[in-house]
Amino acid sequence: MKHLFKRVVVLLNELENIDNVLKKAFDFSIQHQTRLEILYVQEQELFDVPDYFLSDDKIANEHLDKKSVKAKIEEHLLTLDIQGDHAILIYEDDTIDQVLHYAKGQKDILFITAYHQELSEKLVEKTPHSFWIVKNNSQSYHNIAIPLDFSDTGERVITLAKHIFPTQNITMIHDYRYLLDTLTVQVDYLNVVPVITPDILALNETLKKEQKAKFEHYKKEFELNGKCIEGEASLDKDLIEYISKNDFDLSILYHQDTELFLSPSLILELLKFVETDFFIVNL
């Protein structure tokens, strides 16, 4: 398939423990023949500026010495034996604004960044871009989870995942409960509880059978493993529990504008409570 991402940008906000992010970005850029770009943004309110990044004549004013930051990044690249064409850009505040300005609405950019709860949530919630968020120390991925509805976007993301991660074990995960009609459930979709009447129970069983049959078709069509979960808790808690207990090291999610299965609120829930890396696609 034609690769979606033509540019890969490492988004850094500090320089501690960045080697895993840089290595993943470099390997991705080599695999997909994209230029490696590094965007460093010093968030004054979230990350303290180390003294050795402040020039002597600017320490009093706490101005960032961009040359020192760039030299430190180059040291990490040299240590990792990352060579070839790359660009390093350094800014102070605000990460969201800098990302929006840097990308200028282009959808073919993949940002790779380390997890920071407050900042990662803002990036996912307030920008229209795709993010690879490194949350754990996995050097490589073996088991990948894709929570799935049956939308056209979901099908495109499955194809994309197989292209980017061709040798990894990918498991599709589905929960039919997100499709329950809003008239038959309580208002908050994250705590879907069917209204108990005979008609609604019958509709519930019909939906369940239809979704399971469609899911089996997807497993055959895409030649992937799959799990249709049906827990006793709320939809988000069941999904978090399943991913957490089954040794996944990467979760691939994708944006849907509607408050259904992969809604913005559910993505943020997973990002906060699941200890995998995340590949969040915004098509």
Contact 132, 26 (CB under 8 A): no
- pLDDT tens digits, residue range 141-183? 999 999 998 889 999 999 999 999 999 999 999 988 766 544 3
The half-sphere exposure of 75 on its side-chain side, counting CA atoms within 13 A, is 9
Q: Which residues are within 8 A (CB) of 58 and not within 5 positions of it... i.e. 6 or more apart?
A: 65
Alpha helices in 56-139 (DSSP H): 66-79, 95-103, 117-126
Domains within the chain, CATH numbers bracketed:
7-134 (3.40.50.620), 143-281 (3.40.50.620)
- List strands edge to edge, sheet with 7-12: 86-92, 35-42, 7-12, 109-114, 130-134, 277-281, 250-254, 143-147, 169-174, 225-228
Q: For residue 24, give the amino acid letter.
A: K
Q: What is the pTM of this model?
A: 0.86
Contact 267, 253 (CB under 8 A): yes
Reported as a pLDDT band with limits 50, 70 and 90, residue 59 is: very low
pLDDT, position 53: 54
pLDDT, position 35: 85
- pLDDT tens digits, residue range 207-235? 888 889 999 999 999 999 999 988 777 88
DSSP assignment of 154-223:
HHHHHHHHHHHSTTSEEEEEE-GGGGS-GGGB-S-GGG--B---HHHHHHHHHHHHHHHHHHHHHHHHHT
Give which of 168, 165, 161 is closest to 142, Cα–Cα.
168
Find the mean pLDDT for residues 248-259.
84
